Amino acid sequence: MDRPPTRTRVYINLSFPELSAKYAKLPCDGVGIMRAEFLALSLGTHPDQIISEGGEQRFIDTFATGLEKVARDFHPRPVTYRTLDLKSNEYAGLIGGEKFEEREENPMLGLRGCARYLADPASFRLELKAVKQVRECGFTNVRLMVPFVRFPRELAQCRQIIEDEGLFADPSFEFWMMAEVPSTVFLADEFMPHVSGVSIGSNDLTQLVLGIDRDSRKLASSFDERDPAVQKAFELLATAAQRHKTQLSICGDAPSRHPAMVEQLVRLGLTAISVSPEAFSNAVKLVAETEALLGISKP
């Protein structure tokens, strides 16, 4: 497809490395989120079990191979690699998982994201080694993004682990965070100095702002990213990002599920929008039309 030039970058979301060659043919600006979960599930074994068996290199190689494939297919366009965000019940389903996971009543709000990295940093460090290995192979288009951040102190501690692994030694390295928890909205000014960019995870943010389980069929009709409270959260994040001159993207399902939201996101000044590959062509069209309407100059 012919791609009209836009100042707002349009990325795609990617879950499976084997699909990257196909989707790299799209005239997108890069990958707004590469989910790491498939790589972990392909190993089939709990990371702590792998480590206990001395399989650290197997873990690193699996993650580096998948990430390098995507980075190579999209090079030099950026690939935003989001570190593992499996929940405790999902980890428990892996080989050896029941030995390492405590049962949680609500895994969605349990030990996940940044909190897990700090409680059990060993497997997180293996992910970082894989990212570093890929970047040292010349694929410096790889960014790192951490999910489900709750507290500024948590983000700072996580950043320190990344620094200890040597990733910040390369000045081109970009460290991003997901904004999925209301605390990241209310305290955005305390989070943003730690990162190069923020990506709104509209799925979790919507359910936590509205207090609605996004998987509940009984409440499905009320789960809506267009709700004024969720829209207000987007506005607060956009305003903070502009104050800090921080890149702001969105990688949840909102702009894919509700294409009309694209106009609002462009109006808020997001630097990028990441959508499913199937929604890409329509998103580009809407971004271009909105920028023309607003008189936004092209890159």
* CA-to-CA separations, 280 to 231, 261, 275, 298, in angstroms, rounded: 22, 14, 6, 19
Q: Is residue 2 part of a domain?
A: no
Q: Is residue 215's pLDDT more than 90?
A: no
Q: What is the pLDDT of residue 248?
A: 98
Q: What is the pLDDT of residue 167?
A: 98
Q: What is the mean pLDDT of the chain?
A: 96
Q: Is residue 33's pLDDT more than 80?
A: yes
Q: What is the pLDDT of residue 276?
A: 96
Q: What is the pLDDT of residue 255?
A: 92
Which tokens sit at 174? Answer: 């970009």
- Please check whether residue 216 is in contact with residue 264, taking contact to mean a CB–CB distance below 8 angstroms: no
Nearest Cα neighbor of 197 from 111, 255, 274 is 274
Q: Is residue 299 part of a domain?
A: no
CATH number of the domain within which 230 lies: 3.20.20.60
Tell me the pLDDT tens digit for each residue of 107-145: 999 999 999 999 999 999 999 999 999 999 999 999 999
Query: Stretch 206-227: mean pLDDT, rounded?
Result: 93
Query: Stretch 197-224: mean pLDDT, rounded?
Result: 94
Q: Is residue 223 part of a domain?
A: yes
Q: Reply yes or no: is the peptide bond before residue 76 cis, omega within 30 of 0.
A: yes
Distance CA 106, CA 103 (A): 9
Q: Is residue 181 part of a domain?
A: yes
Q: Is residue 4 part of a domain?
A: no
Which tokens sit at 180? Answer: 């999925």
Three-class secondary structure of residue 228 per DSSP:
helix
Distance CA 189, CA 63 (A): 33
Percent of the chain whose pLDDT exceeds 90: 94
Distance CA 133, CA 257 (A): 36
Q: What is the pLDDT of residue 297?
A: 81
Q: Is residue 1 part of a domain?
A: no
Q: How many domains does the structure of the chain reveal?
A: 1
Percent of the chain whose pLDDT exceeds 70: 99
Query: Stretch 187-195: mean pLDDT, rounded?
Result: 98
Distance CA 198, CA 249 (A): 6
Burial class (CB in 10 A: 0-12, 13-18, 19+), 213: middle
Enter the pTM of the model: 0.96
Query: Stretch 68-84: mean pLDDT, rounded?
Result: 98
Tell me the pLDDT tens digit for each residue of 244-260: 999 999 998 899 989 88
pLDDT tier at 2, thresholds 50, 70, 90: confident
- Sequence letter at residue 179: A
Q: Is residue 269's pLDDT more than 80?
A: yes
Distance CA 181, CA 206 (A): 9
Distance CA 193, CA 211 (A): 28
Q: Is residue 80 part of a domain?
A: yes
Q: Is residue 3 part of a domain?
A: no
Which tokens sit at 259? Answer: 């294409």
Q: What is the pLDDT of residue 272?
A: 98
Q: Domain range holding 200? A: 9-294
Which tokens sit at 17? Answer: 């490395």
